Amino acid sequence: MQLTLTQVVHLNLLVEDRDMNISSLLLLLCAFCSQQVVATGFYKESCPITDSEGNKLVDLEVTLRCLTRGDNKVSCINEDEDNLGPAMVIDKCGPLNVKVFYKVCNKAPYEFELNQPKTKLIFETVRQEGFRGDIIPPHQCKKVKIKKTINTCEKIHAMSLQVTGASLVPFLDGSDIKKIYGYCYLFRRTTMEYASPSLPTIDN
């Protein structure tokens, strides 16, 4: 199990608390374990734009997640930061059912208006159905989930999310709004690693 820095600090504080018994500490560790498993396979990119005083006019956060479908869900996105290492080791190649999640969050205090023609959800070079509605209210998100079947005999599979639009920032006197344009992009891929050194073939 790998804990985040925040979780380590919390644990240190709790261990120093003499009222914290061993059972409670074990339960807490299990909770951290569950959170770590739930978070597996999430990849985020933040794209803030601030004014001269540091106020966030645009604050987009885009997320991609890919999981295999079935009882034993596994992330199907490369884990390393350089996006090059193998994501999955497979015994034999063939069709694999996956679920892909696209998400955009508006973390700014203003509405964000999506430019739908330029907002693109891509899976293996094919544009997918986009987010519903043009407006993302402040501190809210939009999500899209798709189900796909990939051919693991093909070594590389890619997905990306591009969000374009503008924050609707009102003038101080409330007479009108100005558009502050924003853009955020995230690309991830999965690379197959084959357990057998022989060339992969699809079983018929």
Tens digits of per-residue pLDDT, 151-183?
988 888 899 999 999 999 988 767 788 999 999
Q: Assess if residue 203 is contained within a domain.
A: no
Supply the mean pLDDT for the chain.
Answer: 77
Q: Which residue has the higher pLDDT, 83 or 4?
A: 83
Q: Residue 33's pLDDT is what?
A: 33
* Length, in residues, of the chain: 204
pTM over 0.75: no
Average pLDDT over residues 70-83: 73
Under the banding of pLDDT at 50, 70 and 90, the label for residue 88 is confident
Residue at token pair 């999506």: 114
* CA 123 – CA 148 distance, rounded (Å): 9
Q: Are residues 179 and 81 in the same domain?
A: yes
The 3 state secondary structure assigned to 141-198 is: EEEEEEEEEEECCCCEEEEEEEEEEEEEEECCCCCCEEEEEEEEEEEEEEEEEECCCC
Q: Assess if residue 97 is contained within a domain.
A: yes
Q: Residue 195's pLDDT is what?
A: 77
Tens digits of per-residue pLDDT, 2-34?
443 333 334 344 344 444 443 333 333 333 333
Q: For the chain, what percent of residues have pLDDT higher than 90?
A: 44
Bridge partners of 181, per DSSP, are 166
pLDDT at 78 over 70: yes
Domain of 1 in residue numbering reads as: 1-39
Q: Assess if residue 29 is contained within a domain.
A: yes
Q: Are residues 134 and 161 in the same domain?
A: yes
The arrangement of strands across the sheet holding 42-50 comes to 42-50, 56-68, 95-106, 140-151
DSSP assignments along 15-50, one per residue: HH-TT--HHHHHHHHHHHHHHHHHHTTEEEEEEEEE
Under the banding of pLDDT at 50, 70 and 90, the label for residue 93 is confident
Tens digits of per-residue pLDDT, 132-145?
999 999 999 999 99
* CA 69 – CA 147 distance, rounded (Å): 9
Q: Are 105 and 141 in contact (CB under 8 A)?
A: yes
Q: Assess if residue 53 is contained within a domain.
A: yes
Q: Residue 84's pLDDT is what?
A: 57
Q: For the chain, what percent of residues have pLDDT higher than 70?
A: 72
Q: Assess if residue 28 is contained within a domain.
A: yes
* CA 13 – CA 16 distance, rounded (Å): 5
Q: Are residues 98 and 1 in the same domain?
A: no
Q: Assess if residue 204 is contained within a domain.
A: no
Q: Are residues 51 and 105 in the same domain?
A: yes
Q: Which of 53, 169, 148 is nearest to 106 (CA)?
A: 169
Average pLDDT over residues 77-86: 65
